[in-house]
Structure 1
Amino acid sequence: MTAALEVTGLDVRFRLRGARGGPPRLVRAASDVGLTLRHGRLLALVGESGCGKSVLTEALTGLLPGNAEVRGRALLQGLDLLAAPETVLRDEVRGRRIGLVGQSAGTFLTPTRTVGAQLREAVRLLDGPEPAEVLAERAGLPATALDLYPHELSGGTAQRAGLAAALAGDPEVLLADEPTAGLDRPLVDRTTDLLVDLARAGTAVLLITHDLRAVRRIAAAGPVDLAVMYASRIVESGPASEVLARPWHPYTAGLLGALPEEGFVPVPGEPPELSDLPPGCPFRPRCGRSACSDDPTLVGHGDRAVACHPAVPA
């Protein structure tokens, strides 16, 4: 499968004012992140809240605040998103080449206009190839919802409306940031199934989530990639079915062990503050393994990669 979006060496830092006139603080939200989104494939990015997952979508779409410092490359068919001017991102990328489904997508809808009116406007402004009714069907949005206002939608229906809007410009890449947050399990399953269907149809899909149960379910049904993020870094990646069946990094194993069906054992300790990351491996203070290289570098091994070098099977 061809690469739709290739991210290498992505660093995002936020410079914050110091308290009471003190020195400024530097928050490291993403450190040397590398990701490849492929046409026809879904990549799930998982990790605890606050590890830096959502910052990636903002960096890739040029929506970071003014105090952000960004380095690295993000090539979208030859266009470096991190170096592109705002006019290019606004007129050529956002909505057209990259669709974005945010958390609580219903809050992005205008409250005084019907869903249908907003979808039709999005199609017109983005020169979309499909009418609003077709977008609604693709997103699993009931036709009756087009005549409703955002406040009349349930949480799951609002998420589908947000997904339909993200598809209006027929983007080649879809970034879905916690699209199942706050939904019950049946709606989680329906939403993730829709994202898988979009990937199978050729779209490159990034699903950002903390829901490993959902990732395990869709990985069992077909090819899905998985990347695990901890304290601003990718610590493990590879085919989801392989990573979930045999995790190499102790953090990945800890996340799986915290699932109810795996014993409900939480990962010990607390994640570090992104403004005070320890040197070397950021997971070392929480890791119970005796062998440690203390090297946070992600190293490839076939179609998998891991930042815990002693954990790689011989």
Structure 2
Amino acid sequence: MTTTAHTAPTRTGAGPQQALLDVVGLSVRFRLRDATVHAVTDLHLALHPGELLAVVGESGCGKSVLAHALLGLLPGNAVVTGHAHLHAAGTGPVDLLNVGERHLARTVRGRAVGLVPQSPATALNPVRTGRRLLEETLRAHGHTRRDASVAAERIAADVGLDPADLDRYPHELSGGMAQRLVTALALAPDPPLLLADEPTTGLDRPLVDHTLDLLRRRCDDGAAVLLITHDITAARRVADTVAVMYASRIVEHRPTGTLFDAPTHPYTAGLLDALPDRAFRPVPGHPPMLTDLPAGCAFAPRCDRATDTCATAPALGREGAGRVACHHPTRAGATA
């Protein structure tokens, strides 16, 4: 497979383009009986129209919680703080983290923001065929019955689903088919922002590439995509920018080409060294429990560059891509 590192979309005009999504200081805590899970900590991100931003990191670092927090889909024991300003045509400016459920359900979910869920089996109505689910979604967004029927087959073909599979119920679909169906349902209303949470789960390599290219084309047509994945090679294939997440925090956020050519955070360097076409060497040690995060840098126990300074948590900063949260960035990144 040939991978191409994309560059961030060009901004035109007299001033900087307004972000479609601007996340400021997002933190998520889950209160348990005997502990608190620090799932997301002080997260800052901006996503512009035409941009594909990939959030990567090991399983359990908080990536999926980010997507669910933006759509108000967290359980009742979640405590969410911060702001996430959405500027989408037709909805007006809205703070996704501080607006009511009624507004999210009627105006945001599926309309301004689409979601490809990580677990399609729990997202699909078991008593609706794929065709009926797609057609109902399209009709809810203004299509006539006839138009919805035609559009459903077109969208199914776009995601690599055989039209005959649309007449199956969810329990009759393979994991890969169900994944493609939830992708089709998220794309059907043509939302300006798409949150894709591990959208290639259960797909073979050709369909992985097909799905990634489909997301890339969405951005090339002016939409924005937040791709959440543990597959850093997938991020390299299609992303404009990459945010690396570790133990609930973003530790590095850079344009894709820069991040792959000159990683700045030791954890990013370790992730890249673990790739088969590089050193194929795993990052030593294990990430900390999110119920017992250290006061300083959470990566310090696994880092050969750590010093006493790392007992204090490094700051990432807010502005743009090109940020790193490390007291001792790697030489390659520091000189890039």
Same-fold call, TM cutoff 0.5 = yes
Q: Is the 8 A contact 1:128 1:169 kept in 2?
A: no
Quote the residue 2:297 is aligned against.
Answer: 281
Post-superposition shift, 1:36?
A: 1.4
Post-superposition shift, 1:264?
A: 1.9
Post-superposition shift, 1:106?
A: 4.6
Q: Is the 8 A contact 2:114 2:187 kept in 1?
A: yes
The answer to whether 1:49 aligns with 2:59 is: yes
Give 2:96's aligned amino acid: L
Q: Is the 8 A contact 1:292 1:310 kept in 2?
A: no
- Aligned pair partner of 1:241 in 241, 257, 262: 257
Q: 1:71-98 CA deviation, whole Å, 9 max, x = no partner?
A: 1000001200000000000111111111
Q: 1:103-124 CA deviation, whole Å, 9 max, x = no partner?
A: 1425422233221111011112
Give 1:191's aligned amino acid: T
Quote the residue 1:252 is aligned against.
Answer: 268
289-298 vs 259-268, which moves further: 289-298
Post-superposition shift, 1:44?
A: 0.5
Give 1:173's aligned amino acid: L
Q: Distance in 1 between matches of 2:320 and 2:66?
A: 25
Q: Is the 8 A contact 1:127 1:169 kept in 2?
A: no
Give 2:323's aligned amino acid: A
- 1:106-145 maps to which residues of 2 (within 5 A)? 106-127=121-142, 131=148, 132-145=152-165
SS class of match (1:235):
strand
SS class of match (1:27):
strand
Post-superposition shift, 1:258?
A: 1.2
The answer to whether 1:28 aligns with 2:38 is: yes
Give 1:42's aligned amino acid: L
The answer to whether 1:202 aligns with 2:222 is: yes
SS class of match (1:228):
strand
**Change over 3 Å in CA distance of 1:301–1:87 after alignment to 2:** closer
SS class of match (2:328):
helix
Q: What percent of counterpart residues are identical?
A: 56
Q: Which runs of 5+ in 1 are unaligned?
A: 19-24
Quote the residue 2:72 is aligned against.
Answer: 62
Quote the residue 1:9 is aligned against.
Answer: 25
Q: Distance in 2 between matches of 1:37 and 1:128?
A: 29
Post-superposition shift, 1:170?
A: 2.0
- Aligned pair partner of 2:96 in 67, 70, 81: 81
Q: TM-score, normalised by structure 1?
A: 0.90
Q: Distance in 1 between matches of 2:320 and 2:49?
A: 20
Post-superposition shift, 1:128?
A: 5.6
Q: Distance in 1 between matches of 2:232 and 2:84?
A: 26
- Aligned pair partner of 2:315 in 285, 288, 297: 297
Post-superposition shift, 1:14?
A: 0.8
Q: 1:38-76 CA deviation, whole Å, 9 max, x = no partner?
A: 111111100011101000111100011111111100000
Quote the residue 2:108 is aligned against.
Answer: 93
Quote the residue 1:307 is aligned against.
Answer: 325
**Change over 3 Å in CA distance of 1:122–1:258 after alignment to 2:** same
Across the aligned residues of Structure 1 and Structure 2, the Cα RMSD in angstroms comes to: 2.0
Q: 1:163-210 CA deviation, whole Å, 9 max, x = no partner?
A: 111122221110011111232322221211111111111111011000
- 1:135-214 maps to which residues of 2 (within 5 A)? 135-214=155-234
Q: TM-score, normalised by structure 2?
A: 0.85
Q: Distance in 1 between matches of 2:143 and 2:268?
A: 40
**Change over 3 Å in CA distance of 1:13–1:104 after alignment to 2:** closer
Q: Is the 8 A contact 2:159 2:214 kept in 1?
A: yes
Post-superposition shift, 1:243?
A: 0.3
